[in-house]
Chains A and B, each alone.
Chain A
Amino acid sequence: MIAWIQFIVGALLISVGVVVLALSVFGVYRFNYVLNRMHAAAMGDTLGILMVLGGLIVMSGFTAVSFKLLLTIVMLWLTSPVSSHLIGRLEIHTNEKLDRHLKEVKH
Chain B
Amino acid sequence: MARLKSNYESSAWARFLRWMKNGSGRMERDMVRSLEAEALPNGRSEERQQAIDSAREEREKRDRDNERAILDKLQSWSARRGSRLVRYAYRFAAVAICLAVIYVLLIAVSEEPMFGQADNPVNNEVSARYIEKGVQETGAVNIVGGMILDYRAFDTLGESHVLFIAACSVLLLLRMNLDKNGRPTREKLDAEADDRKYEPHNDVILQKVSNLIVPCLLLFGIYVVLNGHLSAGGGFSGGAIMGAALILYVNAHGLTKAGKHKLFGATVFKYVTFCALAFYALAKSYSFFMGANHLDSHIPLGTPGNLLSAGLILPLNIAVGAVVAWTMYSFYTLFRKGDF
**A residues apposed to B, CB below 8 Å:** 75, 78-79, 82, 85-86, 89-90, 93-94
Contacts and interface: CB of A to CB of B under 8 A. Distances in A.
**Main secondary structure on chain B at its contact with chain A?**
helix
A94 B198 contact: yes
A58 B249 CA distance: 35
Q: How large is the interface on B (under 10, 10 to 19, 20 to 34, 35 or more residues)?
A: under 10
Nearest to B216: A75
B203 A89 contact: yes
12 contacts: A75-B213, A78-B213, A79-B213, A82-B209, A85-B203, A85-B206, A89-B200, A89-B203, A90-B198, A90-B200, A93-B200, A94-B198
B206 A86 contact: yes
Interface in B197-228: 198, 200, 203, 205-206, 209, 212-213
Contacts, number: 22
A86 B203 contact: yes
The 10 closest A-B pairs by CB, nearest first: A82-B209, A94-B198, A93-B198, A89-B200, A78-B209, A85-B205, A82-B206, A82-B205, A86-B200, A78-B213
Contacts of B198: 90, 93-94
B172 to A, nearest CB: 32
B252 to A, nearest CB: 9
A94 B213 CA distance: 28
Contacts of B203: 85-86, 89
Contacts of A85: 203, 205-206
A78 B248 CA distance: 14
A89 B206 CA distance: 12
